Structure 1
Amino acid sequence: MTDIEKKILVTIDTIGPTFISKLANRILENQNEVRECVRHFVKEKILERVENIMVSYKTKDDNVVVKHRNHTYYQLTKKGKRLAKEIEVEDFEVREAFKTYNKALQNSLDNSKKEIEEPIYAVIDFPFSQENNVKNILKDTFNLLEKTYDKTVTLRGKVHKEKLEELKNNIFNIVVLDNY
């Protein structure tokens, strides 16, 4: 489990249901990264959406605040609570709600995405038997590539370098031509 995932679980366990932008601000992380982690946790049934119109959560001083939902709030499931209790709390700060919300700080966190390399043009040739394995690695990119089915499957198009490396390392009988 990554540090950001640990922070999310421990924070929601500590403060109760919250929404993504407030959670990102409280744990001082990029909002898009928090959103992806929350989506993953919902898919794994670690977090769930709050269905009630009114939501209550805790402040830093253990005061309980009841508020009308105007965002999508998330809370821990039983599985999530169990996972949160197993995490050794590391030294990270959970900021207090409202009083310390800093929009400029959140914007700088959101805009500080790691440099993402541009995809490069590549030709990938592999046997039919490996098509599902290649699809699993490339995911949505697979559908965007030009495909030729002959004696083997040939893909042409732009692919991220790390995906090409993953293909080379995990698929046998694959030929990858890039940087030409």
Structure 2
Amino acid sequence: MKFVFEGHEYELSDLELKILKYHKIMGPDYSKLISHRFHISLQEAFDIHKKLLSMGLLQKVTAPIINYHSKDKRLKSLKHRNHTYYDLSRTGKLLLREYERQIKEIELELEFPYKR
């Protein structure tokens, strides 16, 4: 789907929008876990993260320790980073908010319990 935001045109698939929404809800994550959560190949998860990173919608996390959050804010944990983690950039957060405001809310069905 094509979407114009701040003078730039973005073409994002439904899956890419769901992955952006996932990062908004869950925070930083890595491609292998994304491939597991969305039942896609690892290569497809790498490619999507690479595309969203090049568009400026995601950023690489540089901190050596990651704070994990879940929908239930009581479930929070710290983890040492062993993979390349990605999180929403400021542009990604703004684009996602504007998309959901103008077009439609992105439905994301996350399965509980989470394993990290």
Q: TM tier, shorter chain?
A: 0.7 to 0.9
Shift of 1:53: 0.2
Q: Is the contact made by 1:57 and 1:65 (CA closer than 8 Å) also made in structure 2?
A: yes
SS of 1:67's equivalent?
strand
Task: Output the TM-score relative to the length of structure 2.
Answer: 0.75
Distance 1:27 1:94, change over 3 A: farther
CA spacing shift, 1:28–1:92, aligned 2, 3 Å: farther
The answer for the alignment partner of 1:37 in structure 2 is: 48
- Give distance in 2, aligned partners of 1:89 and 1:25: 23
Shift of 1:34: 1.8
Alignment of 1:17-96 (within 5 A): 17-62=28-73, 63-85=75-97, 86-87=99-100, 88-96=104-112
> TM-score by structure 1 length?
0.50
The CA RMSD over aligned residues, in Å, is 1.8
Find the residue that maps to 2:35 and give its secondary structure: helix
CA shift for structure 1 position 32: 1.7
Change (3 A) 1:79 1:33: same
The DSSP-based 3-state class of the residue aligned with 1:34 is helix
Q: Based on CA coordinates, which of the two structures has the bigger radius of gyration?
A: 1
Structure 1 residues 92-135: Cα deviation after superposition (integer angstroms, max 9, x where no partner): 32234317xxxxxxxxxxxxxxxxxxxxxxxxxxxxxxxxxxxx
**Equivalent runs, 1:139-150 vs 2, <5 Å:** none
> Superposition pairs for residues 7-18 of structure 1, below 5 Å?
7-18=18-29
Q: Secondary structure of the residue that 2:59 maps to in structure 1?
A: strand
Number of equivalent positions: 99
Q: Share of identical aligned residues, percent?
A: 27
Query: Structure 1 81/60 Cα, relative in aligned 2: closer, same or farther at 3 Å?
Result: same
Query: CA offset at residue 7 of structure 1?
Result: 1.0
Instruction: List alignment gaps of at least 5 residues for structure 1.
Output: 100-180
Q: Residue in 2 aligned with 1:98?
A: 115
Structure 1 residues 20-63: Cα deviation after superposition (integer angstroms, max 9, x where no partner): 11122222333221211110111111111100000112124222
Query: Structure 2 stretches of 5 or more lacking a match?
Result: 1-11
Amino acid at match of 2:92: G
Tell me how far 1:91 sits from its aligned partner. Answer: 3.5
